[in-house]
Amino acid sequence: MWRFSSLTRGTSCLLPFRKAPALRHFSVFLVRHGPVWPPVRASPACLHLPRITVLLSFCRSFKKNAKSTLDFPVTPITVTDIKQYLRSKEIPFHDGFSCLHAPSFFLEHTGAQGGSEAAGRDGFTLFIDKTTGQFLCKETLVEGSWEDLQDCVEVMQKEGCSYLSPDVLLGYPESPEEQEVKEMELREVQRIWSASVSFSDLPDEEAQLVKTMFRMDSISNATLKRFGVRFFKPTKSLVFPWFGGRDSGLRGLKLLTASCDKDGAVSYADATLPRPSAYHNLFGLPLVGRKDSEVVLTGRETDALAVSQATGLPCLTLPRGVSSLPPVLLPYLEQFKRVTLWLGGDINSWEASKIFSRKLGLKRCSLVRPGEQQPCPSEALESGRSLSRILKASISAAHKSIVSFRQLRDDVYGELANREQVAGVKWGRFPELNKILKGHRKGELTVFTGPTGSGKTTFISECALDLCVQGVNTLWGSFEINNVRLAKIMLTQFSMQRLEDDLEQYDAWADKFEDLPLYFMTFHGQQNLKTVLDTMHHAAYLYDISHVVIDNLQFMMGQENQSVDKFAIQDHMIGAFRKFATHSSCHVTLIIHPRKEEDDKDLQTASIFGTAKASQEADNVLILQEKKLVTVPGRRSLQVAKNRFDGDVGVFPLEFNKSSLTFSAPLKAKNKLRKVKGDKPDAPESEEKPAKVEKAEKVEKPAKVEKVEKAEKVEKPAKVEKVEKAEKPARATKTPKAEKGMPSRRQGSLRPCVLQSHVHWELHCSVGASRSRGANTCPCRQMAIFRFKPRLIFHSTV
């Protein structure tokens, strides 16, 4: 498959982390995310065509422009624009579910300018995404942006031809370094694949053992063979292949590895080659027939095996499970009139299936609601349930404007039965925040304020990073500081160390950071609300963003608006972000400066700049309190002043670590959590009384604040120093080197395990020994580390 790497209009306002750093790293980005292999270059035959050279030079100059316009907002394309353009060029098309279908002008017999009606509906092989204009020719696998498509049409018209060679568009030329990385990855894919064995070649006993390990005892060898699943002995991993491209060759792999923790609990982790952002495999696609009109979408490959074996229905697995449905896959799903989403057996899968069904077209989608009787497909198969019956009971995704409780009762039950999941994603670095807010939930609006220069950006950056590491797809709108500075802060917080002191470590940390689902809007300073919202919508569509951070509202509004009714403008903006959060099932964190307050007074909800709209619309109000001290930096604490989810509010101290720029609370501080209004921190939820929000507002009365102030008075400079000495550095301040039992630096550099779910560290030593135990054992002594190539390390239980 060939990919044209210029950016689409909407995405020109978005920047993944990969593009932020220096050119050297930008080039690495292109290798990993640009044209996917096998590289398709302009064939010599194509270059001999004199007419085509016009397009080649045009495209090159266009790309140059695209790069330089990266920072400028552009109007997003709409489906009406696309249709109008196609009509104006007399290109026939018809409406699909998420794409427009048109005849491909990369195929000689169905040129856009002629005879496509004769080709009939099935002859329309060019798919144009209705939201982005991105196109794919399913026959030739040429794909590109809406601008590329217009370029092609313009050139065809100019040159009077009705057909273009599939090789006509060129991507960026690759540097030798890029080619080398790509070839190395491909070699690695081939090496692992050829060293893997099919299940029918494994001794029966071993095959059964492996199946048990991956909880797929009921999956037959025949099913595994049909899907091409193999077993890779050195890491005890299941290998799921990705076949595709014009030659249907092997393009990548996903490895699923099982490991046991100290308590014997089995956990699973997967790794892909190429890395996840370039891994666009709809697992099971080669088995789908052209005439199939029904499909089941699953979140895991083993689930696809279960559904296919039990029902015989075509079944596909989304490459990134419940975390996102990349629009680049949508053309491959256009042929299905009915799509059943059975992404797993928990609330997260349910939420994701509702979001994905909007992209796929609500009318054709039905969803399997998770529940005791409807676990994920592989579990359903193992427990002897009828998968066909579960699929039959799936419910339509189409929205109903008026519902009765009867339609809601299962949803209500789901919320009650899955309290922890409904509470949202828990912070790893801020347990106090979990205690008060319970978690980070989609669809909410958080307003965050704090005195000027108190560390709002620094704190929110760590908070958002914490979630992002756990798979929360995050979009940053930093209107105050530029993206390079912001990325630097986040990378420092991610690595928990001063990287400027150890630049050798930069690439290792940057490689891991690159894999986070983190994107930046390229805006800086004042920005038009519509442009920002368009970009947010676009990002939500492209990357399934579930957390947007706006830092900050005042900078986004700019000074120009200050002369008009600035409060009304701010209220309008807050209302728009609220609406976005609700409609897009996305959490929006809005940083708003406070009004000018007296230095010695704590901020309150009423201190947020503007009218009461901000605190009324917000689900959560967080205040970074700063106690101004003369001789040393003031102590910070975080106050949760509003919590619509369950009403709990409170305040806890923050300890700032200057070298890692982290605020993660020191261990002792955990005991210092104060629940305002006498809430017992550890009281069971059932004991908590309603109307907590009201309570929250009450604490902001002067009398209460005074009380808090009294408590803070003990923090005289001398004492603060003492406390700081007594409180051992929190987890946040520990670098890998500080871990007990770590091998020495001489043995190699240490990094957190590549598979996020592991708590172990990986040892990164110089050259690729095939396997070495002992010295290369994780400090926890649980894992042996096997090394395959400089960047990729697999773990396996000893």
Dist. CA 512–CA 493, nearest whole Å: 13
User: Which DSSP helix (H) or strand (E) runs through 315?
Assistant: strand 315-317
Bridge-based pairing of strands 99-102 and 126-129 is antiparallel
Amino acid at 178: E
Indicate the residue among 632 and 775 with the shorter CB distance to ligand ATP: 632
Contact (Cβ atoms closer than 8 angstroms) between residue 1 and residue 36: yes
Considering beta carbons, is residue 633 or 736 the nearer one to ligand ATP?
633
Nearest distance from residue 496's CB to ligand ATP, in Å? 14
Tokens at residue 753, please?
Answer: 């395990």
SS3 (DSSP) at 341: strand
Minimum Å gap between C-beta 500 and ligand ATP is: 14
Helix (H) or strand (E) holding 553: helix 553-557
Work out how close the CB of 662 gets to ligand ATP at its nearest, in angstroms, rounded to a whole number: 10
C-alpha distances in angstroms, 74 versus 405, 461, 537, 656?
Answer: 44, 27, 14, 39
Q: How many other C-beta atoms lie within 10 A of the C-beta of residue 97?
A: 20
Q: How far is the CB of 227 from ligand ATP (least distance, A)?
A: 49
- Taking the complex as a whole, how short is the minimal distance between the CB of residue 666 and ligand ATP, in angstroms? 13
**What's the half-sphere exposure (Cβ side, CA atoms, 13 Å) at 775?**
11
Residue 80 or 452 having the CB closest to ligand ATP: 452
C-beta of 635: minimal distance to ligand ATP in Å? 8
Place of tokens 């856009």: 112
Q: How far is the CB of 695 from ligand ATP (least distance, A)?
A: 28
Beta bridge partners of 294: 338
8 A C-beta contact, residue 539 and residue 475: yes
Closest CA to 128 of 92, 170, 176, 172: 92
Q: The tokens of 619 are what? A: 């689900």
518: left (phi over 0), alpha (psi -120 to 50) or beta: beta
CB within 8 Å of 179: residues ≥ 6 apart:
31
Applying CB under 6 A, the residues found at the interface with ligand ATP are 450, 452-458, 480, 552, 633, 636, 656, 661
The answer for 585, left when phi > 0, alpha when psi is -120 to 50, beta otherwise, is: left
Q: DSSP assignment of 222-266, as one string?
A: HHHHHTT-EEEGGGTEEEEEEEETTTTEEEEEEEEEEEE-TTS-E
Distance CA 611, CA 614 (A): 7
User: Whole-number minimum distance, CB 661 to ligand ATP, in Å?
Assistant: 6
Instruction: Please give the distance of CA 196 from its chain centroid, rounded to a whole number.
Output: 30
| 237 vs 554, beta carbon nearer ligand ATP | 554
Min. distance of Cβ 206 from ligand ATP in angstroms?
A: 55
Please identify, using beta-carbon distances, which residue of 169 and 608 lies nearer to ligand ATP.
Answer: 608
* Residue closer to ligand ATP (CB basis): 457 or 546: 457
Of 108 and 724, nearer to ligand ATP (C-beta) is 724
And the tokens for 451?
Answer: 């005195």
Least gap, CB of 599 to ligand ATP (angstroms): 14
- For tokens 């090496």, the residue is 191
Shortest distance (Å) from residue 459 CB to ligand ATP = 7
Report the nearest approach of ligand ATP to the CB of residue 669 (Å). Answer: 13
Give me the phi and psi of 292, to 5 degrees please. Answer: -65, 130
Give least dist CB 483 to ligand ATP, A: 14
Q: What DSSP designation does 546 have?
A: -
Q: Closest distance between ligand ATP and the C-beta of residue 664, in Å?
A: 12
| Beta carbon nearer to ligand ATP, 153 or 730 | 730
Smallest separation, CB 602 to ligand ATP (Å): 16
Q: What is the largest CA-CA distance in the chain?
A: 87
* Closest to ligand ATP by CB, 657 or 756: 657
259 versus 458: smaller Cβ distance to ligand ATP: 458
Pick the closer one to ligand ATP by CB: 706 or 724: 724
Cβ-based nearer residue to ligand ATP, 154 or 480 = 480
- Specify whether the CB–CB gap between 338 and 360 falls below 8 A: no
> In whole angstroms, how close is the CB of 384 to ligand ATP at the nearest point?
56
The answer to whether the beta carbons of residues 365 and 341 sit under 8 Å apart is yes
CB 591 within 8 Å of CB 604 = no
Burial readout 302-331 (b: 16 or more C-beta within 10 A, e: otherwise): bbbbbbbbbbebbbbbbbbbbbbbbbbbbb
Minimum CB distance to ligand ATP smaller for 458 or for 589: 458
Q: Torsion angle, CA of 594/599/604/610, rounded to 10 degrees?
A: -30
CB of 730 to ligand ATP, least distance (A): 14
Taking the alpha carbons at both ends of the chain, their separation in whole angstroms is 40
Give the C-alpha separation, 56 to 460, whole Å.
45
The smaller minimum CB distance to ligand ATP, of residues 403 and 718, is found at 718
Tell me, letter by letter, the H, E, C secondary structure of 589-656: EEECCECCCCCCCCCCHHHECCCCHHHHHCCEEEEEEEECCCCCCCEEEEEEEEECCCCCCEEEEECC
Residue 458 C-beta: closest distance to ligand ATP, Å: 3
Q: Which residue has the CB atom at the shortest distance from ligand ATP?
A: 455
Contact yes or no for 292/373 (Cβ under 8 A): no
Question: Per the structure block, which two tokens stand in for 599?
Answer: 């230095």
Q: Indicate the SS3 state at residue 81.
A: helix
Q: Which is nearer to ligand ATP, 609 or 656 (CB)?
A: 656
* H or E element in which residue 708 lies: helix 702-712
Our CB check for ligand ATP shows the closer of 375 and 455 to be 455
Residue 264 or 453: the one with the smaller Cβ distance to ligand ATP is: 453
| Residue with smaller CB distance to ligand ATP, 358 or 636 | 636
Using the structure block, give the residue that is written with the tokens 């997260």. Answer: 348
